[in-house]
Structure 1
């Protein structure tokens, strides 16, 4: 491998949060010289990718930096489809003669079916990626646009219907499932490559890395990665709990206690007092906005609380929209099925689906605050969008004075906190600290700071 290409590859991987150490680089250089018969990609992927979740991002970086220079353009596509034959596809209609999916001149999957080689899919993407990459559409919208142009949704629906009718064998069905997953992955990769080239930076790729993606946009696989990381963070925290001193029959000699006891014996020491450290376990109160825009973020915070429950003497969890209800009994199962059901059932708990933070803080101060320890930590998850209702900051100030710490986790970007419908600026003066909590990376930082 060319030395300059190697340097660019290492730099790019580090830019997108794939850790490549100096030892990894030395090992890679040695293996590239020692094993010339093994492909460079396999060697470097083996040495640089230490976590399964980094595999996809390595492949994308490789395609951007190395792929173009090492993969010559094929003259013909799978099944010997020539450019002239592709032009014929551009004028054809989609499935059912409806013209769906031909878009701006690409190949419809409903016509090609499984005869289209997914490895050559980049040659068939029917829209100009450079134009879409420079538009205002975000990543997910661009991917959906391309899939629609490919007639992807009609294609998968036709197979689903055939399978339901029993006209498709199990073997063909599973082969189709594998194929559609590959096509989706390839389209997403091509969109990322185009956005990186259009921006001339790695930021688009970083934004699609599971640690930096909005929690509301994560796939099921990425959600699993976040939950796995939360368990790891919680385990690390369990190794360094806070402590306080308490009297014990044995342990470190308690000098103040010995002096106090010696007073009754005219200063003579007849009895020693001991003390030892015991874990400090304050009360944790969690208040979560479960309106439609907030529900995806609640799941991860509750999962974190579940993992940390042994570190607190008592944990109480409340959900709210424009009223408060206690869900503490539902948060101790790791699958969170009961919690998810409670989030969906808000219609039975409140009068509307619109957040009213002022009414919530009033109810919390008047009905629940007296039950909360003055040493408790209050953690609020909410976007502070109050639907132009009164913020009632006097009640929030009363809550802040009644507990030890108040931490507010807001999934919105800082620029959105100043919008007219947002009361975050009014509430943040009464918080110990306010965090943006939009991604797994944000959640990791909060765990380190708060717990």
Structure 2
């Protein structure tokens, strides 16, 4: 694929579209038509820019698009420019044999050297040399752990610590410290991309990259800038769901036949129906009750759920919001909390809780103090990982709650394989839940929202 001019290799373009779709990008036929129209009308535009404008719908997708573009260019030897891809402007030099951290072949040393070769510093071959020396036990770890191991072999952790100490002693400026932090971040990005590229070649599938797409990443992994992107997506989803009408069926003197009643009448009349009942659809505005665990392991997920719920209020007659760790806290009328005020939530939790979840105590408190004022048509939404720190589950209280409300949905940020570990009481609560959903990613929240709301 040529990145300049209008010359387009059709096979390479199909490869790019396939890789992007496998990685979670929503690319439609309309997007492709727009690309072709742009290239026809503006033949001097850079192809990569045209593709990025039409295929990327949110800023959070930029980095993954760049990674996939770079990987595909590596396969296209005819069009690739070895000097264009992967060059990071760092005035440093690699010297083998430095004191690395962890196991490996000695690590490297990174020191400022204005005469160092920048193009050799970050070439894929240099990174691959470290990856090939990675021990088997490190290869079995998560991608981020592998990245940290390679950085340790490169001695970057130790050098950064020494730079921070030098800055505190006034030996270097803040700009020099920031420059080195940028170097480390660039190395992290390069190493992660090389690891992903190795996995893609090994498994022969691009779907591995889906875990890097913002829709499929754990909500706790987002930076502040990325959180803004997620909130905008959830805000749009909330508004769409709030405008979608909900209906219930009500007895009426005319309208559609109530088939359930008709079958019952057929049985009672031994094959004859003497009376028909009718029903009609009327708008439904039920009550929503939200219980959010705000312990450290669940707080990032609670923030996004609270933000989504705050934009769904028009769909419900009443919305009640409770936060909890080992006791309940009603924040229904506190707008700052309902939209995810994490700093204030953390400040409250440090003052008013032990910091360890106690679901049994919370359900007992809810049943005693609040269940009487909750509508029988209410939907109860519980967000929590079910880890109860080996305290009694007291599932009888959730049983009473389930008998009173219309539906009980449990949202769990853990992967399903971790729902029933030894310290998890979800197995005792499961019989009293209408359904349990995973809510680890933005995509999970979107799917759950459409099913529940």
Structure 2: which 5+ runs fail to align? 2-8, 255-280
Equivalent-residue separation in structure 1 for 2:17 and 2:386 (angstroms): 41
Deviations 1:189-209 (A, max 9, x none): 223222222332223311121
Alignment of 1:127 onto 2:130: yes
* 1:152–1:204 CA distance, 2 compared to 1 (3 A): farther
Alignment partner of 1:297: what SS?
Answer: helix
Equivalent-residue separation in structure 1 for 2:133 and 2:59 (angstroms): 30
Alignment of 1:233 onto 2:240: no
207-216 vs 21-30, which moves further: 21-30
Alignment partner of 1:137: what SS?
Answer: coil
TM-superposed CA distance for 1:333, in Å, is 5.5
- 8 Å CA contact retained: 2:409, 2:436: yes
Alignment of 1:190 onto 2:191: no
* 1:423–1:191 CA distance, 2 compared to 1 (3 A): same
The aligned counterpart of 2:97 is 91
Which runs of structure 2 are paired with 1:9-28 in the superposition (5 Å)?
9-28=16-35
TM-superposed CA distance for 1:138, in Å, is 0.7
Equivalent-residue separation in structure 2 for 1:33 and 1:132 (angstroms): 51
* 1:328–1:118 CA distance, 2 compared to 1 (3 A): farther
Equivalent-residue separation in structure 1 for 2:389 and 2:239 (angstroms): 39
TM-superposed CA distance for 1:29, in Å, is 5.4
TM-superposed CA distance for 1:298, in Å, is 1.5
The aligned counterpart of 1:366 is 368
TM-score normalised per structure 1: 0.77
Equivalent-residue separation in structure 1 for 2:387 and 2:174 (angstroms): 49
Match of 1:61 among 62, 65, 68: 68
Equivalent pairs, count: 412
TM-superposed CA distance for 1:128, in Å, is 1.5
Alignment of 1:349 onto 2:352: yes
Alignment of 1:421 onto 2:423: yes
Deviations 1:344-379 (A, max 9, x none): 5435434x4443323322222122211222222211
* 1:148–1:279 CA distance, 2 compared to 1 (3 A): farther
The aligned counterpart of 1:153 is 157
TM-superposed CA distance for 1:176, in Å, is 5.0
- 8 Å CA contact retained: 1:282, 1:313: yes
Alignment of 1:213 onto 2:220: no
* 1:420–1:19 CA distance, 2 compared to 1 (3 A): same
TM-score normalised per structure 2: 0.76
- 8 Å CA contact retained: 2:410, 2:437: yes
- 8 Å CA contact retained: 1:92, 1:102: no
TM-superposed CA distance for 1:230, in Å, is 0.8
The aligned counterpart of 1:48 is 55
Structure 1: which 5+ runs fail to align? 94-98, 246-253, 257-276
* 1:71–1:430 CA distance, 2 compared to 1 (3 A): same
326-335 vs 49-58, which moves further: 326-335
* 1:416–1:374 CA distance, 2 compared to 1 (3 A): same
Equivalent-residue separation in structure 2 for 1:91 and 1:162 (angstroms): 24
- 8 Å CA contact retained: 1:129, 1:191: no
Deviations 1:388-413 (A, max 9, x none): 44433322111011112211101222
Equivalent-residue separation in structure 2 for 1:345 and 1:55 (angstroms): 37
Alignment partner of 1:386: what SS?
Answer: coil
Alignment of 1:201 onto 2:205: yes
Equivalent-residue separation in structure 1 for 2:226 and 2:126 (angstroms): 28
The aligned counterpart of 1:223 is 227
Deviations 1:30-63 (A, max 9, x none): 7668877665434433443333222211211122
